[in-house]
Amino acid sequence: MIKLSTSGPRLAQLLAALALTTSSLALAQTAAPAPAAQAKPTQGATAPAAPTQQAPVSIEAQVAMCIGCHGIPGYQSSFPQVHRVPYISGQNAKYIAAALTAYKNGDRKHPTMRSVAADMSEQDIAAVSAWYEEQAKGKVEAKEPSRQPTAQVAALLQKGACVSCHGSNYSNPIDASYPKLAGQHADYLFVALKSYKAAPGNSQVIGRNNAIMGGIARQFSNAELKAMADYIGSLQGEMQTQPQGRFR
């Protein structure tokens, strides 16, 4: 469903419409009022003059749009290839904020997430990131990963020194601006690794400019990246899908 588009605002409206559709389904069941904050006063040339006082936007309204993709278990994106949308519930807030900022400023090129992040202020990013961090499934206490890699994958992981930054169980990175990886969808991890590998500036629509991960990902073939992604995705982790039901 994710199509390339040069018109960011149009895409954003489409996404908002999608989120409205999905959230209103759930809301209808409880006969709760539709989230009024969905209609952003800043959107669209026909918006009426801003009232003197803006009602504070609730966190529910802020994440309503995210839920349309990140809140549906197993929800798939078809761009640049079919893969599951990443878990963000339970991820580190600082990393979520860094990722959203990178979509906003173009260091991450994924078109859908760019148009989502484009409309977010720094305060929105901070609030949404903090909310998602709190949704953790429960800490992975074991220092060791929940299962051991094959000898071949172990050699790859060692070559990339992955644990030195992402933590011995891939769920306790050395800095909160680094992501937890354990248990993340393997197909997404593979797409992410290939995005780092894509040369910066090579494409308008794929790629992630990140000096650290770019240098690492380029040391491996795609088959090797996939082998590592499959292993890390199979581990026990702290992330989960936070479904809409939470708001009922």
**Chain length of the chain:** 248
CB burial string 5-37: b at 16+ within 10 A, e below? eeeeeebbebbbeebbebbeebbeeeeeeebeb
User: What residues form DSSP beta bridges with 84?
Assistant: 76
Question: What residues does 34 pair with on adjacent strands?
Answer: none
Instruction: State yes or no: 239 annotated in a binding site.
Output: no
In b/e form, how buried is each residue of 180-215, taking b as 16+ CB within 10 angstroms?
bbbbbbbbbbbbbbbbbbbeeeeeeebbbbbeebbe
Instruction: For ligand HEC, give the closer residue by CB, 31 or 244.
Output: 244
Q: Please state the closest distance from residue 52 (CB atom) to ligand HEC, in A.
A: 27
Is 94 a binder of ligand HEC (CB under 6 A)? Answer: no
Q: Is 66 annotated as a binding residue?
A: yes
Residue 228 annotated in ligand binding: no
Residue from 75, 59, 58, 101 nearest 22 by CA: 75
Q: How far is it, in rounded angstroms, from Cα 81 to Cα 96?
A: 22
Pick the piece of the chain touching ligand HEC (CB under 6 A) from 23-31, 42-50, 51-59, 64-72: 64-72
What residue ranges in 142-213 does DSSP mark as E strands? none
Instruction: Tell me whether residue 165 is annotated as binding.
Output: yes
Per the CB < 8 A criterion, the answer to whether 169 and 235 are in contact is yes
**Encoded tokens for 26:** 């759930």
Q: How far is the CB of 110 from ligand HEC (least distance, A)?
A: 4
User: In the complex, what is the shortest distance from the CB of residue 31 to ligand HEC, in angstroms, rounded to a whole number?
Assistant: 25
CB nearer to ligand HEC: pick between 52 and 86: 86
What residues numbered 152-211 form the site for ligand HEC, per CB under 6 A? 157, 160-162, 164-166, 178-179, 181, 184, 189, 191-193, 195, 208, 210
The binder of ligand HEC chosen from 11, 27, 93, 98 (CB under 6 A)? 98
Is 27 a binder of ligand HEC (CB under 6 A)? Answer: no
Residue closer to ligand HEC (CB basis): 27 or 86: 86
Nearer to ligand HEC, 51 or 188 (CB): 188
For CA atoms 85, 90, 95, 97, the dihedral sign is: positive
Q: Which positions lie near ligand HEC, rule CB under 6 A?
A: 15, 65-66, 68-70, 77, 85-86, 88, 96, 98-100, 102, 108, 110, 112-113, 116, 128, 157, 160-162, 164-166, 178-179, 181, 184, 189, 191-193, 195, 208, 210, 212-213, 216, 228
Q: Binding site for heme c: which residues?
A: 66, 69-70, 113, 162, 165-166, 213
